[in-house]
Structure formats: structure tokens, C-alpha cells
A and B are shown apart, each in its own frame.
Chain A
Amino acid sequence: MAKRIEISGLHAYYGAVHAIEDISMTVEPRSVTAFIGPSGCGKSTFLRTLNRMHEVIPGARVEGKVMLDDEDLYGSDVDPVAVRRVVGMVFQRPNPFPTMSIYDNVAAGLKLNGVRRKSQLDEIVERSLKGANLWNEVKDRLSRPGAGLSGGQQQRLCIARAIAVQPQVLLMDEPCSALDPISTLAIEDLIAELKSQYTIVIVTHNMQQAARVSDRTAFFNIAGTGKPGKLIEIDDTSKIFTNPSEKATEDYITGRFG
């Protein structure tokens, strides 16, 4: 189910602004890869190029290659909508659909793509909510609005929604930055469970979190304001946090960075 992602020579632009420059890396399947780096260094932009969400913004474009196993996501005849079904995403702020119940939120991706059989939906909703460790908290109120849950529950609802369409890869853009420590712990535990089935990429500002949840860590940086973001290095998380090859990484991790 999980797939390897190989990125080579990737550039991303917002109109005339060069946001990230020449990134090449491999993201291993069934593992967690963390992206760290200062604000504005292009981590989120890079993450969004991996499921073609970057181009949703007017004027934004991408150059380079993103191979998902042996398919190029930016191939000329590839449908971006199909890409997003394979590469799911969880956002920084929990964003359940406000007009939908908890059940409908989880079923949204399937329903909106034409799955109508009630029994099948029931099964997938239960499996996804269990997968997101939310089932026990909401099983008695599936018809209540998703927006009525707490922030941490909403974020787990969004994870359930993302895994309900059974993607191969799960991208998470600072999924815990709006949550309290308890909810953060719940999400981190969940990530550890999910990695047995999915390829997970997580952007985080919290270096302890990167150290806790990830197998590999990539450090991004910018040379200065207005310059494009770059990948400085990617390596095993233990190596990045104990003995990084680059001086810039060490400076950032030990807090000697700005």
C-alpha cells in the first residue's frame, strides 16, 4: 500500500517568486519523514508539491520530477485530482466541513467520489475513525456536527477523513501546532501506528516532535529574505540530531540559529 517518493530537481514558484530551489530526495515507504527548518524556508510549499496542492494557488507552478514508485506525478497526462486521492493531506488547522456531521465528514471523500452503498460507507467510516483513535469518543454521536468536537478531536477527525479514501501517502502540515500537549501526544501516537501502513511526511516546528516521531529528518533553510528555500540535508533522525554533516543543521538544532 505505501509507496516510495523520489523527488529530483524540484523548483516551486509563486508567480515570479522562486519559493524553493532544486530539491532532490527520497522518501522511504512505511516510515515517517520529518521536515524541519525556520519559518518561510519552503517546507510547507515543498510538502504541497507532493500532492499537487501547490498549483491550487493562482499563479503557482512547479518544475521538476516527483516519482511515486514508477509514476511521475507531474507527467503531462496525469490528473491532479487522481494524485490527491493517492497522496492525502492533513492541514495545520483542523478543518472539518462545518455543514456535515462527524459521519459525513469521514465519508466525504468517498461520497463525493461516488461511493453510495451504505454498508460499505458504514464499514469504512468505522475503520477510519478507529484508525484515527477517535471511534470510542464519537461512536454514539456520529450524526452530530464535526465542528462541535474539541480541537484535538477535530484534527483526528481530519486524519480519519484523510485515511478514509485509503491513500498511499499521508502528508501532514504541522498537524499539532494548534493543539494542546495531550492532543499532540494522541496525534503522535497515531502517527507511530499509521506508519506501518502509510508513507508519512510531516512538517513540524517542534524539534522534539521531529525527534520523537520520525525515522528520517530533512532540514531546510533559506540564505536570506527573498531567496528561495533549499534542502540542506536529509538523514536518519538520530544522525541529524546527534551528528549532522552540515554546520547549518547543527546551528539550527542547537538553537544557535537567529
Chain B
Amino acid sequence: MSVKGAELELKSLPRVSARRRMADRTVQSLVYAAFVIAIIPLVSVLWMVVTRGMERLDLDFLTFSMNGLSSSDEGGGANHAIVGTLQQVGLTAVMAVPLGILTGVYLVEYGGNSRLARVITFFVDVMTGIPSIVAGLFILAFWLLALGFEYSGFAGALALAILMMPTVVRATEEMLKLVPNDLREASYALGVPRWRTICFVVLPTALTGIVTGVMLAVARVMGETAPLLLLVFITDAINSNPFEGPQGSLPTFIWYQAGDPNPQAIERAWAAALTLILIIMLLNLGARLLARLRKPVSR
């Protein structure tokens, strides 16, 4: 051993050994392989939805409902479902986003290590894991059966809000934790009260991250089907009042059309799936643009 060591010292800088080169190559190819395997389902899903969906996605599809059409008929559209989804998710966001952001602000800025903060964190964690059907059943038992309300888009939005809130809380919490304490102190040192510091220094700094988190939460609830089947039911006609009667929605539309053996219905299901993806993408782009507009131009 000592002889070997001495030998090494005498020679010039040693080359990378064959073993290390092998290990480097192996790990590198493993990483690339993992990346490719992960991307295959993503790309193939997108490809499938885009190619199949494009066949029926046209102006008719976006502007007509299924009112008076049977599933074997050509034509028809998802307008009633688009209206329903936008209203339901809109109502959900109106309820869940302010609640979620305020909870996140409380946890990071005020709660500290208090018992209340720990309890809230625990329940938010539990809520993150609630299956959507359970949230649906809860609102069904509470809102429809106990309180006696009818099927409505709003009932669905209540269940979706339960699913969305923990995601928003989590995203807000993580982003606020990333805001350096220096900035809070700089603001306090200017004689700015705490709540103003939070509103005008801390939240704007974390804004981009919070917006991303909210959009992820919106995308998640937009595809939920189970609670809507329980609470909003299905209709083929346009119902633009989310507070009364059954409404259409894209996930339930897809579910209903895809379960039908007629090829016309299957086509509509693909087109609706593509519409759903497009809506989420547009919302995402819009939100990012808004978040960017609020920042000072950097060049």
C-alpha cells in the first residue's frame, strides 16, 4: 500500500481511471434514459389528444350545445360544457384563492411556531390527500341532503374549492418562505407597519410563484369529474346560471361522450379533451403575462 502511494506521488498528474470513466458513462446514460422514459407518456398523450381532437374542434363545436341531439348524430358541440366548466372553476377560484393565500400568509408571517399554525398545517396536509370523490360526497351530504339545495354548478364549486384550497395554501407558504428576511427588515426599518410590508413588499416579491401555484391548482380542479357527477349532474342544454339546476362541464362531457359507442360521440370526447387542455394553457399564459406586467422592465 505504502509503495503504491509513493509511486503515485512520483508520476505526473494521474489520468481519469477507466473505472471512473465507466461509472460516469453509466450514470449519464441512466439519467438520459430516465428523462426519455418520463417524457414518452407526456408527449404521446399530447400527440394523441391533439391529432384526434383536431378532427372535430371547430367553431361549431365551440358554439353549439348538445341540446336536442342524440349521441349518434353528427355535429353538436361542447358550448354548454365550456360555459359550465368556466363558471364552476371561476367560482371555485373566487372562494379558494383568497382563503388559500390568506392562510398561507398567516402561516408564514404571523403563525410562526404557534399551536394554531401547527394545527392548520396538519389539516392542510390532510386536505391535500382527500380524494375528489370524498370531497364530492361531503358536499352531497352537507349541501344537497342536509340543507336541501338542488344540483347546481355552485355545489360542484364548493367541492372543488375543498380540493383547491390546500394546494394554494402550500404554494403560497413555500413562495413566502423564499422571500428573504432582509426585505421584511428593510421595510420595517423604514417605519412601515407589518401588514403593509406584507401587502406591498412580501406578496409582490412572491407573486410569480404564487400565480404559478394557483394555476397548477386551477388545472388540477378543472379536470375533476367525480364531484361534478355527484353535485352538478349533466345536461345537454346551456345553463348559464351556476346557482340553479344541472350544468354541463368538460370533464363530465368527456366522460359521457367517451362512454358512448357511436364514433361521432368518441370524436366529440377527443375534441372536448383538447378544449380542456387549451383552456388551461390559455389561463396559464394569461396569468404569467399579468405577473410579468407587474414587474419593472429590467433593460
A99 touching B186, Cβ below 8 Å:
no
B205 located at the interface, meaning its Cβ lies under 8 Å from any Cβ of chain A in the complex? yes
Q: Known interface pairs A58-B112, A97-B201. Does A112 touch B183 (Cβ–Cβ under 8 Å)? A: no
A100 to B196, CA, bound (A): 15
Near B by CB (< 8 A), chain A positions 172-211 give: none
A84 touching B205, Cβ below 8 Å:
no
A98 to B187, CA, bound (A): 12
A66 located at the interface, meaning its Cβ lies under 8 Å from any Cβ of chain B in the complex? no
Q: Known interface pairs A91-B185, A97-B201. Does A144 touch B192 (Cβ–Cβ under 8 Å)? A: no
- The 8 A CB mask of A98-125 against B (1 = contact, 0 = none) is 1111001000110111000000000000
- Write the nearest CB–CB distance from A195 to chain B, whole angstroms: 19
B186 touching A91, Cβ below 8 Å:
yes
Chain A residues within 8 Å of B245, by CB: none
A81 located at the interface, meaning its Cβ lies under 8 Å from any Cβ of chain B in the complex? yes
Near A by CB (< 8 A), chain B positions 174-224 give: 180, 182-193, 196-197, 200-201, 204-205, 207
Chain B residues within 8 Å of A89, by CB: 189
A25 to B298, CA, bound (A): 46
Please tell me the size bucket of the interface on A: 20 to 34
Chain B residues within 8 Å of A88, by CB: 189-190
Q: Which of B189, B204, B294, B298 contacts A53 (CB 8 A)?
A: B189
A84 touching B296, Cβ below 8 Å:
no
Q: Which of A56, A100, A101, A108 contacts B185 (CB 8 A)?
A: A56
A89 to B188, CA, bound (A): 10
A245 located at the interface, meaning its Cβ lies under 8 Å from any Cβ of chain B in the complex? no
Near A by CB (< 8 A), chain B positions 72-123 give: 112-113
Binding site secondary structure of chain A: mixed
Near A by CB (< 8 A), chain B positions 199-254 give: 200-201, 204-205, 207
A109 to B205, CA, bound (A): 17
- Write the nearest CB–CB distance from A47 to chain B, whole angstroms: 11
A51 located at the interface, meaning its Cβ lies under 8 Å from any Cβ of chain B in the complex? yes
Which of A6-14, A157-165, A222-230, A246-254 faces chain B?
Answer: A157-165
- The 8 A CB mask of A53-82 against B (1 = contact, 0 = none) is 100101000000000000000000000011
A95 touching B297, Cβ below 8 Å:
no
Chain A residues within 8 Å of B299, by CB: 144
Chain B residues within 8 Å of A84, by CB: 188-191
Near A by CB (< 8 A), chain B positions 243-272 give: none
A145 touching B183, Cβ below 8 Å:
no
A93 touching B196, Cβ below 8 Å:
no
Q: Which of A58, A97, A100, A113 contacts B191 (CB 8 A)?
A: A113
Question: Interface size of B by Cβ–Cβ distance < 8 Å?
Answer: 28
B295 located at the interface, meaning its Cβ lies under 8 Å from any Cβ of chain A in the complex? yes
A93 touching B191, Cβ below 8 Å:
no
A58 to B184, CA, bound (A): 14
B187 touching A112, Cβ below 8 Å:
yes
A93 touching B189, Cβ below 8 Å:
no
B296 touching A145, Cβ below 8 Å:
yes
A99 to B188, CA, bound (A): 17
A85 located at the interface, meaning its Cβ lies under 8 Å from any Cβ of chain B in the complex? yes
Beta-carbon nearest neighbor of A90 in chain B: B189
Q: Which of B112, B184, B192, B207 contacts A81 (CB 8 A)?
A: B192
Chain B CB within 10 Å, residue with most, of A89, A91, A95: A95
Chain A residues within 8 Å of B296, by CB: 99-101, 104, 143-145
A99 touching B207, Cβ below 8 Å:
yes
Chain A residues within 8 Å of B207, by CB: 99
Q: Which of A58, A144, A158 contacts B297 (CB 8 A)?
A: A144
- Write the nearest CB–CB distance from A83 to chain B, whole angstroms: 8
Q: Which of B189, B193, B297 contacts A143 (CB 8 A)?
A: B297
Chain A residues within 8 Å of B113, by CB: 58
A165 to B182, CA, bound (A): 19
A187 to B34, CA, bound (A): 53
B191 touching A53, Cβ below 8 Å:
no
A148 located at the interface, meaning its Cβ lies under 8 Å from any Cβ of chain B in the complex? yes
Q: Known interface pairs A56-B185, A97-B201, A97-B205. Does A108 touch B190 (Cβ–Cβ under 8 Å)? A: yes
- The 8 A CB mask of B15-56 against A (1 = contact, 0 = none) is 000000000000000000000000000000000000000000
Chain B CB within 10 Å, residue with most, of A53, A86, A88, A108: A108
B297 touching A161, Cβ below 8 Å:
no
Chain B residues within 8 Å of A86, by CB: 191
Chain B residues within 8 Å of A99, by CB: 201, 204-205, 207, 294-296
Q: Which of A98, A113, A143, A165 contacts B183 (CB 8 A)?
A: A98
Beta-carbon nearest neighbor of B192 in chain A: A112
Chain A residues within 8 Å of B186, by CB: 91, 95, 97, 158, 161
Chain B residues within 8 Å of A53, by CB: 185, 188-189
Show 17 residue pairs from A and B whose CB-CB distance is below 8 angstroms, ordered by the A residue. A53-B188, A56-B188, A81-B188, A81-B192, A84-B188, A84-B190, A88-B189, A88-B190, A91-B182, A97-B186, A97-B187, A99-B201, A99-B294, A111-B200, A113-B191, A144-B296, A145-B295
Q: Other than the known A113-B196, A144-B297, A165-B190, what 11 A-B pairs have Cβ atoms closer than 8 Å?
A: A56-B184, A58-B113, A85-B191, A95-B183, A97-B205, A98-B183, A108-B187, A111-B200, A113-B190, A145-B297, A165-B191
